Amino acid sequence: MTLTMVTAGRVLNQLRHDRRTIALIMLAPCLIVGLVAWMFHGTPVLDQFGPVLVGFFPLFVMFLVTSVTTQRERSSGTLERLMTTPLRKGEFVAGYAVAFGVLATVQAFVVVGFALLVGMDVAGSVWLVLLVAVLDAVLGCTLGLACSAVARTEFQAVQMMPVVIIPQLVTAGIMMPRDQMPEVLEWVSRVLPLTYAVESLQDLARGAQWAGVRGAIGVLVLWIAGAGVVGVLTLRRRTE
Amino acid sequence: MVNNDDGAAVRARGLRIVRGARTVIDGLDLDVPAGQVVGLLGPSGSGKTTLLRSIVGVQANVTGDLTVLGAPAGSPGLRRRVGYMTQAASVYTDLSVIENLVHFAALAGRRGAAAHAAAADAVAAVDLGGHEKQQVGSLSGGERSRVSLAAVLVGDPELLVLDEPTVGLDPVLRRDLWDMFHRLSGEGRTLLVSSHVMDEAARCDRLLLLRGGALVADTTPDELLAQTGAPDAERAFLTLIDRANTGTGTGTDAGTASSGGVR
Ligand SMILES: Nc1ncnc2c1ncn2[C@@H]1O[C@H](COP(=O)(O)OP(=O)(O)O)[C@@H](O)[C@H]1O
Ligand SMILES: [Mg+2]
């Protein structure tokens, strides 16, 4: 537990030195939300699309940041060194999840706050919207850790994004209602986590309460745990 | 500190390490006596890093017996007792010197004031005073490598496994570091220090000469010169290799012996 916090503190410290990345993480989603609000001014599009952006961005950004950061740990030799210290693999993965969870919480407040400011209506609980956004970000982080074992270079790590994240976006029911999809794809969408994030956020915007979204939130938590376990299992203390 | 029954901090018997398609080390027997500064010397590519990685438990495909401080290499309990400095500086370039050191001190179980005290001591030991707040990414190569060394010191290990810690440093600094290594061994610690620079041999209590993954000599600096009659370690190393090649009749690569003779 304590070495988890030591690792989380170290990762946050590294982020603190990288102001530009933090600014991009906070402002890029606001820019997109702002563009949508402006483009569709006076229509209800933002009410439908806002929740999607709020759910998608944390997943997308944290996945990218985590896979690049852990790839850097591998290539710089710091991971090899960490593996000779008392730090356990689970503590390493959990440390990353905590650090990016903190970052994600700030991001969620900024993005959701901005979306509300430019006119997104949330009939349900704003706190639940924030919760889903944070869970999405932590999921992005653990998925990034799970996938980082596959990527050998930073370039490959970035290329994992279209492989892991974009299919979720395509099948999440944004481009086409899920019940109109080919059956196989509908099934696939039933398994992938972004579907649940987007659905619960849209439901919350329409006024759903805890009872209406707790199932979806449960699925997100399961995915976080599963990806975390894969991240731990694929982390190798001994390498070639 | 803890000595083992046979006084060896590291003991290898029939050690074999395969990397990719290559068998880098094939049947190595070796002892690193406790409480000494032991030099692991050999030309680039001779398997020094591979051997050190197996000792600290991060090398895959290791077979044979490898005992470190009385426990099998890579046992979880050893991670508090063994410190490892990788050949390329493995510290966070986006953190300051002191942030790096406090982090590695914390991983070794020191918190708060104790971690800061250990970091300050280590900064002084590697002569980086004045650079504490500097980001590691803006340090010179030699300075960076000293931060990497300091990150071992903050853990206060019994066995220090250092991969080419003095490469690229100026002579004064090199002398100071070797003095520090001997001070640490005076406290009962064991230091296993690799180098491809034969000049460093004279600074060690004991020498392990490695070539092509095999031990060419296990000796002391004085013995090495006496046995070979060579004026310095580099020429002594060449003499040993020539002897081995002619002695065993496998001297097919005498030509590479001189190029193997290190720089
Ligand atoms: N990941 C690897 N896969 C295959 N061979 C490797 C790998 N790393 C090192 N080697 C080979 O192992 C041998 C020993 O390398 P190394 O232990 O780094 O030597 P040294 O540290 O003495 O320079 C070299 O021939 C090198 O090419
Ligand atoms: Mg090496």
Q: Tell me, yes or no, whether A239 lies in a domain.
A: no
Q: Chain A residue closest to B87 (CA)?
A: A77
At residue A122, does pLDDT exceed 90? Answer: no
Please list, in sequence order, all residues whose beta carbon lies within 8 angstroms of the beta carbon of residue B53, skipping any fewer than 6 positions away. Answer: A80, B59
At residue A134, does pLDDT exceed 50? Answer: yes
Q: Whose CA is nearest to atom 1 of ligand 1?
A: A240
Distance from CA of B230 to the nearest CA of A (A): 38
Which residues of chain A does B93 touch, with a Cβ-Cβ cutoff of 8 Å? 76
Overall number of domains in chain A = 1
Overall number of domains in chain B = 1
pLDDT of amino acid B234: 87
Worst-scoring range by mean pLDDT, A62-76, A81-95, B40-54? Answer: A62-76
- Judge: A237–B74 Cβ closer than 8 Å, yes or no: yes
- Judge: A86–B79 Cβ closer than 8 Å, yes or no: yes
- Taking a 5 Å cut-off on Cβ, the residues next to ion ligand 2 are B 48-49, 87
Task: State which residues form the domain around B113.
Answer: 88-155
Residues B20-54 have pLDDT tens digits of 999 999 999 999 999 999 999 999 999 999 999 99
B116 interfacial to chain A (CB closer than 8 Å): no
Ligand nearest the Cα of residue B46 is 1
**Whole-angstrom Cα distance, residue A239 to residue B140?**
29
Worst-scoring range by mean pLDDT, A160-164, B117-121, B149-153? Answer: A160-164
Q: Tell me, yes or no, whether B94 lies in a domain.
A: yes
- Judge: A10–B58 Cβ closer than 8 Å, yes or no: no
Which residues of chain A does B58 touch, with a Cβ-Cβ cutoff of 8 Å? 80, 83-84, 237-239
At residue B210, does pLDDT exceed 70? Answer: yes
Residues 141-170 of B with CB under 8 A from A: 151, 155
At residue A49, does pLDDT exceed 60? Answer: yes
Hey, what are A107's tokens?
């991001």
Residues B74-98 have pLDDT tens digits of 999 999 999 999 999 999 999 999 9
Q: How confident is the model at residue B3 (pLDDT cuts 50, 70, 90)?
A: very low
Q: Are B47 and B213 in contact (CB under 8 A)?
A: yes
B20 interfacial to chain A (CB closer than 8 Å): yes
Atom of ligand 1 nearest to the CA of B43: 22
Residues B181-202 have pLDDT tens digits of 999 999 999 999 999 998 899 9
Q: How confident is the model at residue B6 (pLDDT cuts 50, 70, 90)?
A: low
- Judge: A80–B106 Cβ closer than 8 Å, yes or no: no
**Whole-angstrom Cα distance, residue A111 to residue A222?**
25
pLDDT of amino acid B195: 95
Q: Is A54 or B122 the better-scoring residue by pLDDT?
A: B122
Contacts 24+ apart (CB under 8 A), B74-80: B74/A237, B74/A238, B76/A86, B79/A84, B79/A85, B79/A86, B80/A86, B80/B108, B80/B109, B80/B155, B80/B157
Nearest to A82 by CA among A157, A11, A146: A11
Residues A199-239 have pLDDT tens digits of 899 899 888 999 999 999 999 999 999 999 999 999 999 99
Residue A144: how many CB atoms within 10 A of its CB? Answer: 31
**Whole-angstrom Cα distance, residue A123 to residue A192?**
26
pLDDT of amino acid B86: 97
Burial group, residue A34, by CB count within 10 angstroms (0-12, 13-18, 19+) = middle
pTM: 0.90
Residue B211: how many CB atoms within 10 A of its CB? Answer: 23
Residues A142-186 have pLDDT tens digits of 999 998 878 878 888 888 888 888 888 887 777 777 788 888 888
pLDDT of amino acid B258: 36
Backbone φ and ψ of B141, nearest 5°: -55, -45
Backbone φ and ψ of B135, nearest 5°: -70, 140
Q: Tell me, yes or no, whether B42 lies in a domain.
A: no
At residue B64, does pLDDT exceed 90? Answer: yes
Q: Tell me: ipTM over 0.95.
A: no
- Judge: B20–A14 Cβ closer than 8 Å, yes or no: no
pLDDT of amino acid A1: 60
Atom of ligand 1 nearest to the CA of B21: 4
Q: Are B196 and B226 in contact (CB under 8 A)?
A: no
B134 interfacial to chain A (CB closer than 8 Å): no
Q: Are A116 and A122 in contact (CB under 8 A)?
A: yes
Q: Tell me, yes or no, whether B198 lies in a domain.
A: no
Residues B220-262 have pLDDT tens digits of 999 999 999 999 988 998 898 888 777 654 433 333 333 333 3
Q: Give the mean model confidence (pLDDT) for residues A90-119.
A: 92
- Judge: B94–A85 Cβ closer than 8 Å, yes or no: no
Q: How confident is the model at residue B61 (pLDDT cuts 50, 70, 90)?
A: very high
Q: Whose CA is nearest to atom 8 of ligand 1?
A: B19
Nearest to A202 by CA among A188, A192, A216: A216
Q: Are B85 and B130 in contact (CB under 8 A)?
A: no
pLDDT of amino acid B247: 64
Task: State which residues form the domain around A164.
Answer: 2-234
Hey, what are A104's tokens?
């994600």
SS3 A1: coil
pLDDT of amino acid A53: 83
Question: In angstroms, what is the C-alpha Rg of chain B?
Answer: 19
- Judge: A85–B155 Cβ closer than 8 Å, yes or no: yes
How far are the Cα atoms of A30, A61, A148, A190 from residue A57, in angstroms, in the given order? 10, 6, 20, 20
Q: Tell me, yes or no, whether A39 lies in a domain.
A: yes
Q: Chain A residue closest to B23 (CA)?
A: A240
Q: Tell me, yes or no, whether B128 lies in a domain.
A: yes
The strand ranges marked E within chain B are: 8-19, 22-33, 37-41, 62-68, 71-72, 82-85, 159-163, 190-195, 206-211, 214-219
Percent of chain B whose pLDDT exceeds 90 = 82
At residue A22, does pLDDT exceed 80? Answer: yes
Pick A239's closest partner by Cβ from B60, B83, B109. B60
Q: Tell me, yes or no, whether B80 lies in a domain.
A: no
Q: Whose CA is nearest to atom 20 of ligand 1?
A: B45
Residue A43: how many CB atoms within 10 A of its CB? Answer: 9
Between the ranges A43-47, A191-195, B74-78, where is the mean pLDDT highest? Answer: B74-78
Q: Tell me, yes or no, whether B202 lies in a domain.
A: no
Q: Tell me, yes or no, whether B118 lies in a domain.
A: yes
Q: Tell me, yes or no, whether A73 lies in a domain.
A: yes
- Within 6 A (CB) of ligand 1 lie A 240; B 19-20, 22, 24, 42, 44-50
